[in-house]
């Protein structure tokens, strides 16, 4: 094992509890609320923050508008906006900036009212826009879900993966959600039908949205937000909660290519970099927080990160392996309930960091006994089309 | 209110002529699609225009059963697919001309069927 650099740690977290603000708040207000709670969690004050990371969902001129709204004059501003993976990129950049002594305390925030805005992310037609490629994509009626569905279709063709295997991901995640009061409340507020633990038969029996993906393989569309405070090592050791170290990080892109293999995501590039920097192996990881926009997203990423070989994900996730109470059997998956059953306001990358930190503090509703290592992997954009991947490896003292 | 219509691409990529063109780098041979100013393999400006014969194979596909787009909502369920044209470009489009969209499958041979509009034609696919 290589020596791990413990130069930056998550010291404060907050997840906005409501998934339906009924139009009463906007993204900036949710971000500010979460920032205050996360700093309180860390035992730090606003004046301690000297670096901000922002994906721009609060409006244009992201670095400037967030600084003014919060009342900050930061020394470091990073406005990397790569969809749901933005927050893994932000954590990676914060680790780099704090290690270089450019700043001492970094603040990441997210806020969205996708549900209140009735924003049909999955089936409203293509997201994005403005990119030259959209010009040739839009006329075919591609929905966002269909991009992911086409990955699943090809994965099934190449490797014999089944809908029943993909359903295991939804089942494990819902099981965790039912243990998380905020996730249960989310499903109630968003008027889910029949809120309970699910079975493989429930998932494959739910209606088809874009073949082969069923309703219960698709994430929800909620309001929400969160904040993460990351501090340099000396600050982190004096904070209110034990530090959750950022041990390694990797970044990558992928996009449609002539002759390319869409069953492999950008995680195949970001994963080895992150694990290499952390000096750990996938089989040592206790908790896997993987962006679950859809079941196939998780299956593909688990393979690409090296938890199992490419094409073997279907068999690997079967038999309840991903449950939190099966330690030693592989990592627990999305122990907060994930985007499938707890919280998906459009860019859920920040919640991956938050729940990973909860696990390593021993604060999760589905606590993995003795959890020491976690991975948070964000996928931004669309699997099967253009997307970014950010992998972060986290560990406790 | 007029019937909802298919969203159409920019005129720069397609016209009324019903030809599917792509670029190929004269320096490194990379097939470039959609149009670029410089080669995606080597950044050369020496990109030659080529014309596809319009035949290819379904690389992957799905059936869209739910869309909120006013035009596509009325069309659902419909097949979408990534098509590998024989010359190399990979194109996303609809596979039409099938009784049941479920019959569209990976490996299926398809050919372009032009969907005519006032200002341009868009390349849909049908069984070859």
Structural element, H or E, at residue B64 = strand B55-64
Subunit contact A125:B63, Cβ cutoff 8 A: no
Average pLDDT, chain A: 94
Smallest Cβ distance to A210: which of B35, B59, B63?
Answer: B63
In angstroms, the CA A336 to CA B69 distance is 33
Subunit contact A139:B61, Cβ cutoff 8 A: no
pLDDT of A58 = 83
pLDDT at B17 over 90: no
Cβ burial of A319 (10 Å; 0-12, 13-18, 19+) is: exposed
Could you list the residue range(s) of the whole structural domain that residue A42 is in?
8-117+220-396
Q: Which residue, chain included where needed, has tokens 């508008």?
A: A65
φ, ψ of residue B112 to 5 degrees: the values are: -70, 135
Q: Where are the alpha helices (DSSP H) in chain A?
A: 27-42, 62-70, 86-99, 134-137, 144-159, 163-177, 181-189, 200-205, 233-236, 267-278, 295-304, 313-316, 338-341, 349-361
Q: Which range among A97-111, A213-227, A240-254, B6-20 shows the weakest confidence by mean pLDDT? A: B6-20
Q: Flag whether A76 is in a domain.
A: yes
Question: Regarding predicted confidence, which is higher, A1 or A122?
Answer: A122
Interface test with B, best of A124, A136, A383 (most B CBs within 10 A): A136
Residue B58 DSSP code: E
Q: What is the ipTM of this complex?
A: 0.95
The pLDDT of B41-68, averaged and rounded, is: 97
User: What is the domain class of B53-127 according to CATH?
Assistant: mainly beta
Average pLDDT, chain B: 93
pLDDT at A295 over 60: yes
Task: Compare all CA atoms of chain B with the CA of A142 and give the residue at the minimum distance.
Answer: B80
Each domain of chain B, given as residue ranges in start order, spans 19-51, 53-127
Contacts of B63 in chain A (CB under 8 A): 208, 210-211
CA torsion angle for A181, A182, A183, A185 (degrees, to 10)?
90
Q: What percent of chain A has pLDDT over 70?
A: 97
DSSP annotation string for A105-116:
EEEEEEEE-TTT
Residues A88, A364, A37: CA angle, nearest 5 degrees: 65
Q: What is the CATH number of the domain that holds A272?
A: 3.40.47.10
Smallest Cβ distance to B80: which of A136, A146, A260?
Answer: A146
Residue A170: strand, helix, or coil: helix
Structural element, H or E, at residue A15 = strand A8-15
Q: Which of the four pLDDT bands, split at 50, 70 and 90, describes residue A128?
A: very low
Q: Which of A154, A143, A316 is nearest to B105 (CA)?
A: A154
Beta bridge partners of residue A213, listed in sequence order: A210
Q: What is the pLDDT of residues A266-278, one digit of tens each?
A: 999 999 999 999 9
Q: Which of A205, A166, A210 is nearest to A340 (CA)?
A: A166
Q: State how many domains chain A has.
A: 1
Beta bridge partners of residue A230, listed in sequence order: A10, A106
Residues A18, A343, A253: CA angle, nearest 5 degrees: 135
Q: What is the pLDDT of residues A40-89, one digit of tens each?
A: 999 999 999 999 999 998 888 989 999 999 999 999 999 999 999 999 99
Q: What is the pLDDT of residues B67-93, one digit of tens each?
A: 988 999 999 999 999 999 999 999 999
pLDDT of A130 = 58
φ, ψ of residue A231 to 5 degrees: the values are: -125, 155
Q: Which of the four pLDDT bands, split at 50, 70 and 90, describes residue A170?
A: very high
The pLDDT of A362-381, averaged and rounded, is: 97
The pLDDT of B106-112, averaged and rounded, is: 98
Q: Which two tokens stand for residue A229?
A: 């405070």
Q: Flag whether A51 is in a domain.
A: yes
Q: Which of A36, A3, A10 is nearest to A225 (CA)?
A: A36
Q: Flag whether A356 is in a domain.
A: yes
pLDDT of A3 = 64
pLDDT of B4 = 83
Q: Which long-range contacts (CB under 8 A, 24 or more apart) does A190-198 make?
A: A190/A19, A190/A20, A190/A115, A190/A220, A190/A221, A190/A222, A192/A220, A197/A171, A198/A170, A198/A171, A198/A174
Q: Which of the four pLDDT bands, split at 50, 70 and 90, describes residue A126?
A: very low
Whether the CB of B93 is below 8 Å from some CB of chain A: the reply is yes
The pLDDT of A198-219, averaged and rounded, is: 98
Q: What is the pLDDT of residues A9-49, one digit of tens each?
A: 999 999 999 999 998 999 999 999 999 999 999 999 999 99
Residues in contact with A45: Cβ distance below 8 Å, sequence separation at least 6, in sequence order: A39
Q: How far is A341 from chain B (nearest CA, A)?
A: 20
DSSP annotation string for A248-306:
EEEEEEE---TT--TTS-THHHHHHHHHHHHT--GGG-SEEEE--SBHHHHHHHHHHTT
Q: Which two tokens stand for residue A106?
A: 């970094």
Q: How far is B24 from chain A (nearest CA, A)?
A: 12
Contacts of A256 in chain B (CB under 8 A): 82, 90, 92
pLDDT at B2 over 90: no
Q: What is the pLDDT of residues A222-277, one digit of tens each?
A: 999 999 999 999 999 999 999 999 999 999 999 999 999 999 999 999 999 999 99
pLDDT at A131 over 50: yes
**Residues found in chain A:** 397
The pLDDT of B29-47, averaged and rounded, is: 95
Q: What percent of chain A has pLDDT over 90?
A: 90
pLDDT of A125 = 57
pTM of the model: 0.96
Subunit contact B94:A136, Cβ cutoff 8 A: no
Structural element, H or E, at residue B122 = strand B121-127
- Asked if residue A212 has a cis previous peptide bond (ω within 30° of 0), the answer is yes
pLDDT of A124 = 67
Smallest Cβ distance to B31: which of A133, A157, A258?
Answer: A258
pLDDT at A133 over 80: no
pLDDT at A98 over 50: yes
């Amino acid at each position: 094992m290589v020596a791990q650099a413990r130069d930056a740690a998550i010291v404060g977290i907050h997840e906005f509890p409501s998934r339906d603000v009924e139009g009463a708040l906007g993204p900036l207000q949710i971000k500010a609320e979460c920032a205050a709670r996360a700093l309180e969690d860390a035992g730090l004050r606003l004046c301690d923050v000297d670096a901000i990371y922002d994906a721009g969902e609060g409006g244009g001129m992201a670095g400037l508008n967030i600084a003014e709204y919060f009342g900050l004059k930061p020394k470091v501003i990073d406005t990397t906006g790569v969809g749901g993976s933005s927050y893994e990129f932000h954590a990676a950049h914060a680790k780099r900036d704090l290690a270089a002594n450019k700043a001492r305390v970094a603040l990441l925030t997210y806020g969205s009212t996708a549900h209140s805005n009735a924003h049909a992310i999955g089936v409203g037609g293509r997201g994005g826009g403005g990119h030259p490629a959209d010009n040739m994509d839009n006329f075919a009626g591609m929905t966002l879900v269909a991009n992911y569905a086409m990955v699943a279709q090809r994965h099934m063709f190449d490797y014999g993966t089944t809908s029943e295997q993909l359903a295991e991901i939804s089942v494990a995640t819902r099981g965790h959600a039912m243990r998380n009061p905020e996730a249960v409340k989310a499903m109630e507020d968003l008027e889910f039908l029949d809120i309970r633990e699910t079975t493989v038969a429930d998932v494959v029996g739910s209606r088809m949205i874009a073949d082969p993906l069923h309703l219960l393989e698709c994430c929800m569309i909620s309001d929400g937000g969160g904040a993460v405070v990351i501090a340099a090592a000396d600050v982190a050791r004096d904070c209110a909660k034990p530090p959750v170290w950022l041990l390694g990080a990797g970044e990558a892109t992928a996009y449609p290519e002539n002759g390319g293999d869409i069953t492999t995501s950008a995680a195949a590039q970001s994963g080895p970099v992150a694990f290499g920097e952390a000096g750990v192996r996938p089989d040592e990881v206790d908790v896997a927080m993987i962006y679950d926009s859809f079941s196939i997203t998780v299956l593909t990423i688990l393979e690409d990160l090296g938890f199992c070989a490419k094409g073997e994900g279907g068999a690997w996730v079967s038999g309840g392996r991903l449950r939190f109470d099966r330690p030693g059997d592989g990592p627990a998956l999305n122990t907060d309930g994930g985007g499938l059953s707890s919280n998906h306001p459009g860019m859920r990358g920040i919640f991956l960091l938050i729940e990973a930190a909860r696990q390593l503090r021993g604060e999760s509703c589905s606590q993995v006994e003795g959890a020491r290592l976690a991975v948070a992997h964000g996928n931004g954009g669309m699997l099967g089309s253009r997307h970014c991947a950010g992998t972060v490896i986290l560990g406790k003292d | 209110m007029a019937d909802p219509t298919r969203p159409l691409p920019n005129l720069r990529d397609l016209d009324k002529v019903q030809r599917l063109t792509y670029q190929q780098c004269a320096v490194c041979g990379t097939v470039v699609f959609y149009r670029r100013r410089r080669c995606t393999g080597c950044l050369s400006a020496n990109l030659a225009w080529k014309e596809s014969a319009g035949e290819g194979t379904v690389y992957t596909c799905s059936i869209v059963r739910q869309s909120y787009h006013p035009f596509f909502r009325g069309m659902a369920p419909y097949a979408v697919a990534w098509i590998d044209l024989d010359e190399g470009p990979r194109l996303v489009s609809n596979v039409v001309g099938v009784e049941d969209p479920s019959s569209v499958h990976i490996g299926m041979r398809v050919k372009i069927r032009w969907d005519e509009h006032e200002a341009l034609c868009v390349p849909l696919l049908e069984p070859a």
